[in-house]
Amino acid sequence: MKKHWDNPTEHAMPTHARVPAEMRIGGVRIAPATVLAPMAGVTDTVFRRFIKNASVFTSSAASDADASLGASLSAGVEQATTNQQSGCGLIMTEFTSADGLSRMRESKRKRYLTYYDDEHPISAQLFGSNPQTLADSARICQDSGFDIVDLNLGCPAKRVVACNGGSGLLRDLPLIATIFEAVRAAVTIPFTVKFRMGWNDDQIVCVELAKLAEKCGLNAVALHARTREDGYSGQARWEYIAQVKEAVGIPVIGNGDVRTPEDASALVEQTGCDAVMIGRAAPANPWIFRQIAQYTAEGRYDLPTEQDRYRMIRTYFEMLIGELASEEAADANVDQARQTREGVGKMKQFASWFTHGVPGGAALRKAIYEAKTGASVLGAVDGFFEARFSGISIDEAAEKAQAEEEVLASTAAYCD
């Protein structure tokens, strides 16, 4: 996924619109009306819970300590949050292959469908092209306790499109209709679809597709206002979201180029959409949902400090290490060496997102990329920020922090 935007439009503060306080998808209440977009390789259970914690908003009427931007992170990942407290109303899983899910052993399915109680409401997103397989997989998601099941008709990746999945299906509306009917008949939980405008500018089908979804009993639609051919380039064309909203009576979720609270409000103002979905902006600015909630309540929002960014980076990495440890404890057959490589790889992947806007972030990214273990990654993070806060050299701070992490790790292993 492209991490940056092409000449992003700067929206002024809208005067007549804010992100709605809530919306309903079937019987599921989404409050506020903000959605974390499903992103492959990003929205696993660790990142989803991380966003939930980073998004908790307390109005200015509360104490300064509770209202501070970093309070939710420093409170720790165990803090329970509810939908009513969170600035992110709905979170979604990474898209999952329906074909793969239907063939997996139940034990392996858990890896793809893992979620925790504090993630509700949560939607499971599927992709595929076989109506019966998608129906069977939707039933698996329902039986696993998901609140909503969603069909991906938006992914532009060549590998997915080659299998007639994702946005590849936008060229075959009759098959989409068959899929809609099969999945709708298979589950009783709300069923939604996320799609793009069409395959290319000569094949714009978003209005027709939205009408088809409503006719087949889907409970909401989400439109990423680009074509498959656009990928993530150029500007999202919000006018098509407005056309879809005008064409159907079910909730419409707008998606594309929402980077700030001003963007979110402008999207609502220009399209009348019922909710705002945010993708790329969330890894770069995990506070985006919190900022939208604050902006909606107070007409202003706080920007993160360096201390907030330090807590944010460290909290995510600690959560990731903790999740890997939990998986190892639950399954004695886990390949620990492979899992360590995957965990460190995930940290390196997110380093480029999280260090966006951090002065001297290139040095931190370099240190993380060179790290071989979770402890050394945390040591690099601690060393970098300790150097910035105290004025000592980065190398000296990193050596000190890594030594402390290794001592803690060995002590924990001894205690176990």
Contacts with 112 (C-beta within 8 Å, 6 or more apart), sequence order: 93, 94, 96, 100, 101, 104
If 0-12 CB within 10 Å is exposed, 13-18 middle and 19+ buried, where does residue 302 land? middle
Tokens of 86: 């969170």
Q: Does residue 155 carry a catalytic annotation?
A: yes
Cα–Cα distances (Å) from 195 to 129, 156, 192, in that order, read: 14, 10, 10
Query: Is residue 122 a contact partner of residue 92, using CB atoms and an 8 Å limit?
Result: yes
Query: Which DSSP string do the residues of 210-236 spell out, in sequence order?
Result: HHHHHHTT-SEEEEESS-TTTTT-S--
Active-site residue identified among 88, 141, 155, 273: 155
If 0-12 CB within 10 Å is exposed, 13-18 middle and 19+ buried, where does residue 113 land? buried
Which candidate, 111, 122, 139, 172, places its Cα nearest to that of 333? 111
Pairwise CA distance, residues 209 & 197, whole Å: 9
- Tell me the one-letter amino acid at 238: W
Pairwise CA distance, residues 355 & 278, whole Å: 19
- State the helix-helix crossing angle for 336-354 and 374-390, rounded to 10 degrees: 30
Which candidate, 359, 379, 350, places its Cα nearest to that of 367? 379
Cα–Cα distances (Å) from 130 to 98, 135, 161, 179, in that order, read: 8, 9, 14, 7
Q: Which residues are catalytic?
A: 155
